[in-house]
Structure 1
Amino acid sequence: MCVCTHKSRETSMSTKTVLITGTSSGIGLAAAVAAAQAGWHTVATMRDTAKADALREAAAEAGVADLVQVKRLDVTDAGSVASCVAEVVAERGGLDAVVNNAGAGFVGTIEQHGMEGVRSTMEVNYFGVVELTKAALPHLRASGGRVITVTSVGGMIGQPFNESYCAAKFAVEGFMESLAPVAATTGVQVAVVEPGAVASEFVTNVRLDVPALLAEAGPYAPALKAYIERTMQSFGNAQTSQEAAAPIIAALTAETMPFRIQTSDWAREFVATKLADLDGSAVQDLTGGWLR
């Protein structure tokens, strides 16, 4: 945790404050550095602050180390969420934006992996987002702030062997789409950011043991093998974390945010398939093709 000297909000506190979750790597790390480069005091949170070295090094290289403050935050722990938000507000005099970025992937199908994976994936990707948003909203009302949540194109289109992950991201999208008009009546803007494949440590963090997965897949093994091969190819042509983070910073600084933001042309085309697919057949044809 960094030690910062804070003046009154009327002086140095005129720098807006954003809290970003999941900043030890990937999109979160890139967004934290970019937000600081855009002039925001960036509270960069992560569950394990021992993993903050990469962020600190990137911030120092970008010349914004003084604007990046590392704090511990476990989005699955209500006490951790409440204490972190309270600390930020006490130190900074308020809060201007939250970027819900922390997340975890999970690959498998329900018959094979059971309920534990569903529940743990939902805790991180959905309930953690709801918990932090709830804690931040009173302070965002006071500042006329905004909530930006990194979901996924998997929050719009269900993807094979990602039932738990996509269910959580669908839930986040539904929650935020429902919250947005309500929050707007109090001056708070809400948006979701939908990346496609991103070349980051997120894939590594899923901890895929492919041989073990295939050995346990039973009748689903041929389809799973085809899915994994196709997915690894898609990540070979993925966006960088910096490219995926850029629309987050644009949303932070725009006068008015759109509700739904894709991070690439590919993501826009992919999501458009769902939005135009009234009976679901186009999506089923598309994702079914990944399994052959």
Structure 2
Amino acid sequence: MQRLPALAALLCSLSACSVGGAPAGGGDAVATMSTLASITSAVVSPHLAVSSLVPVGASVENFQPRPQDVATLHAARLLVENGAGLETWLRDTIDGAKNPGLRIVDCTDGLPVEQQNPHLWMDPLYAKAYVARIAAGAALADPQHARDYAEAARRYDRQLDELDHWIRAQIAVIPPQRRTMIVFHNAWYYYAKRYGIQLIGVVERNPGQEPSAYELAKLVDLAKRHHVQAVFAEPQFSPKLVRQLARSANIRTVEDLYDDSVGDQPAVADYLSMMRYDTETIVKALTENTGRHA
């Protein structure tokens, strides 16, 4: 396999990368999760088909690779991973694939990972860094189409800039004192930091590790003291703890945010749509009249 260091990839101009070396056999592009697959597809389509190892609606953090995933990587020429400790199961899968020609793009390599939180793609400006790394990796895996990948990356960058400006305008509608969230899944750190939302607490700080009764009671207290309007969760996780917290704090629940995975419906079927849907959902929850609902 050929791991692609981010800095080396970005220092190599895509036009230079288009010279010399044939693509490593057949195969296409594989991303570890559907959110990354969407971003990757925007850069490499139509030259490379993109698939996701983790199915839509499943958790990348709790994923258990299957034999067919090893076969998929064996046939692929490009693998796009988030890195930063998100895909703890990936190394063994790569080793089992035995594909020495596989180009691997680590999207967070060289980026400022804060508080050991790997969810940088939830900030559209960090997503632009992902796009640059993906375009560089695709150019090395398929030099013949390097210029197309560079142009696709520029187009998608413009869309990400538009998304960033749109999110800022939407969040500005929320009264400053209401820009607070409690979330189930610790995926919202970078989004909240970028757009001026205060994350008051996280229900499940580590995948699969439920909070203690003391920790849950502390979240209830924080929700009341900070006048939190809602607790937010994703559909792939059990709503039990979120609903318990909401009842105790007398706040509403929002159980349909998307982050690690896009959704099956058109409104959340790709990264850009997902981010717009999430933002609209957050703004609605934080601007509605108070009052709990489940």
Query: Whose helix fraction is larger, Structure 1's or Structure 2's?
Result: 1
Per the shorter chain, which TM-score range? 0.3 to 0.5
TM (norm. structure 1) is 0.37
